[in-house]
Structure 1
Amino acid sequence: MEHLTKSQLILLVLLVSFVTSMVTGIMTVALLSEGAGENPIQTIQRVIEKSANSPPAADSPAVSDQDNNIVRIVENVSPAVVSIVAAKDVSVIENYYLTPFGDILADYGIQRRQVGAGSGFFVSGDGMIVTNKHVVQDQSASYTIILKSGKNVGAKVLALDPIKDIAVLKVEDLPAGGYPFIHLGDSSGLKVGQTVIAIGNALGEFQNTVSVGVISGLSRTITASGGFSGPEVLAQAIQTDAAINPGNSGGPLLDLSGRAIGINSAVAQGAENIGFAMPIDSVKKAIEDVKSFGKIRYPYLGVRYVIINPAVKESRKLPVDYGALVTASEGELAVLSNSPAKKAGIQQGDIILEFSGKKIDQNNALADLIADKKIGDKVSLKILREGKEISLEATLEEMP
């Protein structure tokens, strides 16, 4: 390199640069030729796949078939759901005075005031409405029905169920064509987990409030407070997590066919999403009784009793841990005079083990078994008396 002339050195540098440019150009063409048939197509495919799998736009949310069905049911039945308002005359202070001695004197007057509100629903086109007994139990109050349209109509209480939280009313104004009504379903085949819809006058203020949930339990026995006559035991209740609020009482609990399978009745205080409804099969009986007899009738046996469980067995030294022990408090009759039980030969101290072939226990109370029968039915009774089992037969009569 030291012996090269200046001209030779310049020629060498130019030659090296030329060779380098040629090699770079050949490699670039080869790479482009190799990838030209694949990469653009793959890119297009990726774009297409991404577009096809992209989520729907925010302005067009997906709606499930079940959602559409619930919306349809609510639209169909809402006109048949009503608010029930109770009003009565109450004493109010109209004027008051302060005497020179510091005493307060008042003038009292009478004003018509709203004292309660609940829900109900039409069960026939002729204006018959069912609701909870505790909604319309105040006999000194008058009751007004508020339709979905906002129109107010008067209503008369036809009957109050003597055992269950059910009442039947009828509106006084019947329009041409009658009222829209809700068909009654079947509560005997309900399943835990099935979807239900509750509609009612939530908090006595928000008319036709809708909530959706599932059946959480069946055949619950609860003690409900807040009624006009105090706490009441509700048996065979449907438990649901559909929101049931004060004011919802008396509204329908619907299945996904749009039929009423219960009447919303109570909510567990201090807990969330625990509500209860009376099964609709009890309502069917009440409606038929009112149509046929003008009142709700029940059969009765005529005994006072205590349901036996392991604790009762232990405390009373009984031979069995199930059944109904015929007994009463001091001054009361365990077997009522002239009752079906008296006529059948039941005695104080007997243990009724079975009623019409069904074992009696905490989950199968004697009162519920009797209520499922009709007046005039003959029932078999398995009795444990002084260590021996005997069989008796009774004919149920109307509860006095």
Structure 2
Amino acid sequence: MEELNQHQLILLVLLVSFVTSIGTGIITVSLLQEAPPVVTSTVNRVVEKTIETVVQGPSENNGNNNTETVREVTVVVNQEDLVTESIAQNSKSLVRIYETRPLGSERFYGVGIMVPGGVISGISSPYDGSANYRIEYPDGTETLVTRVQNTAEEQLAAFKITDDTTHAPVTFGNSAALKLGQTLITIGGESQNVISIGTLSSLVTDASGVPTRLDLSIDEKDSIAGAPVITLQGNIVGIRTRETLADGTVRVRYIPAHVIQSTIAKISS
């Protein structure tokens, strides 16, 4: 070894590496051949499934046989794109609600989300039946709605659409599957959409593990009730509610999607 120069040492290292790789290959093939059929078939199924999933389409080989070529595709997902897509998707199903009381002027009531047969908004207050309501769609068209009776204990207000107008309803997600730190979006605003982006800071559950409240690390640009809570995948997982307490203070809370879905049944009943 001491008589070898630097060039000869490099060649020796390459030779040893080559022999080692050949030996490793031979040992691997021998072990696979000696392995039980179940193990061998499992390895083959995994390889075949991977090839079939990644590779699509035949290629010519000697004019007759089809061969498969492994192709790796890297897709870069930009979070900003997911945010804008989620906002665009749900803005089409967001309406603004206006209330008119007897002998009174019209006032802005809150925003609502389109659900099958009507609209859901986050106003925690009973309804005495004395007010009229209309909603304004994103395209500027309007229609009258009828508010469904509710109690002070209920956290949402439901409205039935009184004509044949149809708009795309929102898509709900699973609130129980949310993770702390997950990015969430809200859409509010009285006259135009106001976007807030933050994370899930706390997920409050009952004794059985069912979510009862969402806490978001969001800078509240407005306290508009009914603002939906949206994931980056565009699914509604909650809604902002507004409750006026006995001392006159207003409490803003976020309730999970399953509460919204249970309220939908009141619209269709």
Shorter chain as denominator, the TM-score bin is 0.5 to 0.7
Conserved in 1, the CA contact under 8 Å of 2:171 and 2:235?
A: yes
Distance 1:220 1:276, change over 3 A: farther
Partner deviation per Cα, 1:67-115 (whole Å, 9 max, x = no partner): 011111111110100111111133xxxxxxxxxxxxxxxxxxxxx4024
Distance 1:117 1:136, change over 3 A: farther
Within a 5 Å distance, the mapping from 1:74-93 to structure 2 comes to 74-90=87-103
| SS of residue matched to 1:129 | strand
Which structure has more strand as a fraction of its residues?
1
Aligned partner of 1:171 in structure 2 is 161
Partner deviation per Cα, 1:277-321 (whole Å, 9 max, x = no partner): 111111212223543xx3xxxxxxxxxxxxxxxxxxxxxxxxxxx
Partner deviation per Cα, 1:219-252 (whole Å, 9 max, x = no partner): 189xxxxxxxxxxxxx922111224455521121
Structure with the larger RCO, 1 or 2 (CA within 8 Å, 6+ apart): 2
| SS of residue matched to 2:105 | strand
TM superposition score normalised by structure 2: 0.60
2:258 to 257, 276, 281: 281
Identify unmatched segments of 5+ residues in structure 2. Answer: 1-75, 244-250
Within a 5 Å distance, the mapping from 1:261-272 to structure 2 comes to 261-266=237-242
Partner deviation per Cα, 1:147-188 (whole Å, 9 max, x = no partner): 11122211111242563311221222323xx21111111111
**Distance in 1 between residues matched to 2:112 and 2:120, nearest whole Å:** 6
Identify unmatched segments of 5+ residues in structure 1. Answer: 1-62, 91-111, 222-234, 268-273, 295-400
| SS of residue matched to 2:90 | helix
Conserved in 2, the CA contact under 8 Å of 1:168 and 1:287?
A: yes
Aligned partner of 2:195 in structure 1 is 210
Conserved in 2, the CA contact under 8 Å of 1:119 and 1:247?
A: no
Distance 1:68 1:129, change over 3 A: same
Conserved in 2, the CA contact under 8 Å of 1:238 and 1:276?
A: yes
| 1:199 is aligned to 2:187 | yes
**Distance in 2 between residues matched to 1:281 and 1:70, nearest whole Å:** 23
Conserved in 2, the CA contact under 8 Å of 1:118 and 1:247?
A: no
Instruction: Give % identity.
Output: 23
Cα RMSD (Å): 2.9
**Distance in 2 between residues matched to 1:89 and 1:159, nearest whole Å:** 18
Which AA in structure 1 matches 2:218? A
Aligned partner of 1:72 in structure 2 is 85
Give the number of aligned pairs.
184
Within a 5 Å distance, the mapping from 1:237-252 to structure 2 comes to 237-246=213-222, 248-252=224-228
1:152 to 142, 159, 162: 142
Distance 1:115 1:282, change over 3 A: same
